[in-house]
Structure 1
Amino acid sequence: MPTRIVLVRHAQSVWPRLGVPDSDERPLSADGLASAQALVPRLVAFAPVAVLSSPQRRAVQTVEPTAEALGLPVTTWPTLREWESGLLPSSDWEAPYACSWANPSFAHGSGESLDELTVRAGKALARMAEEYPDATVVVGSHGTFLARALIAAGHHADWESSRAMPMPAIYEVMR
């Protein structure tokens, strides 16, 4: 049996401050915290042996209630963090994101290209399969990371599907 990886996009977070680098400590909003709690029955039903997460607070907070219900720790992996886009949060974020999806080898400034993110996500999926063979893991992460992880796992994702991804969202991949 392959490893089942349950990818969870974080719930609604507070908005980032515009024009300054995003904070790893940006939390979930009150609605996001309620959504994270509401995910517990769905995620517990997968019977995961581990709960992994991006170290960014909003991702951890999304899977933490599930980990607590299962009596498991949340193990953070830096490789699960959001796309290091090289962009500052702005009100016109969609145009540069669309540009990156149209040309995934392009990197903004010193940022990571989407192709590089896909490689990072694929390596993270491979590590999960190696460390948790024949088991299920729940993974808290971020929208762009999840979209590129889906691509790395051989599934379709594009700018429109990434842009439309709800908060939270759940996807399953087998490795």
Structure 2
Amino acid sequence: MRTTIIFVRHAHSTYSPDELGRPLSSKGFTDAATMSEVLKKESIDIVISSPYKRAVQTVEAIAEFIDQKVIIDNGFMERKLSDQPVGDFEFAIREVWKNPTFSLIGGESNEIAQLRGIEATLKVLDLYEGKNIAIGTHGNIMVLIMNYFEDRFDFSFWKNLQMPDAYKLIFENKQVLEVMRLSMEK
């Protein structure tokens, strides 16, 4: 039986040091509404999200449209890069992608973050087999999950993601049959 997971990278957010509570910006809300229109065409059955406010806000409208609540799953939280401010974000991200077991102080390596994301994804595939699921998440963890199934989803792929962005993965027996980007362009 085929199961579809659409990973939705959150829309643009207003920066604040509060990672968990950082909301969408006005542009983010506009783009999230457009993303919801795209998702309406996908016959979504279930909506899951990272607990981060910006991820939830990106998929809230599709949950409302199908008259469901957003299910929160910590497995889809963004990877923790460090527990301290990172001076050179670009350098830090490049390093964790270069060496899958490397992590900054208090942060998750690609290997650890990917394992968390895969455990959450496999749980979703078990619980909602045969359904169409939208998952509000974040760029790094999304690509790490996709990379587990196909190694073409790598650092370069991550660098080219949009905010928001959505990738539809069709699974059968926990194997990916097809991956396609959902376009927000009219």
Give TM-score, length-normalised by structure 2.
0.87
Match of 2:99 among 90, 99, 103: 103
Range with greater deviation from structure 2 (25-34 or 89-98): 89-98
Within the alignment, does 1:57 sit opposite 2:86 as a pair?
no
User: How many angstroms apart in 2 are the aligned matches of 1:8 and 1:144?
Assistant: 12
Structure 1 unaligned spans of 5+? none
What is the TM-score of this pair, normalised by structure 1?
0.92
In the alignment, what sits opposite 1:114?
Answer: 110
Unaligned runs of 5+ in 2: 172-186
Contact 1:121 1:152 in 2 (8 A): no
Written as runs of structure 1 = structure 2, the 5 A alignment for 1:4-43 is: 4-17=4-17, 22-43=18-39
Q: Deviations over 1:43-82 (max 9, x none)?
A: 1111111100000000000000111111111010011100
Aligned residue in 2 for 1:45: 41
Alpha carbon RMSD of aligned pairs, Å? 1.4
Count of aligned positions:
171
Q: Deviations over 1:137-163 (max 9, x none)?
A: 000000001110101223522212112
Question: Tell me, what secondary structure is at the counterpart of 2:115?
Answer: helix
- Does residue 69 (structure 1) correspond to residue 65 (structure 2)? The answer is yes
CA shift in 2, pair 1:89/1:16, >3 Å:
farther
Contact 2:117 2:141 in 1 (8 A): yes
Alignment pair present for 1:2 and 2:14: no
More strand by proportion, 1 or 2? 2
Q: Among 130, 135, 152, which residue is 2:131 paired with?
A: 135
Partner of 1:154: 150
Distance 1:8 1:63 in 2: 8
How far has the Cα of 1:92 moved from its partner? 2.4
Q: 1:23: how far off?
A: 2.4
Judge conservation of contact 2:13–2:54 (CA < 8 Å) in 1.
yes
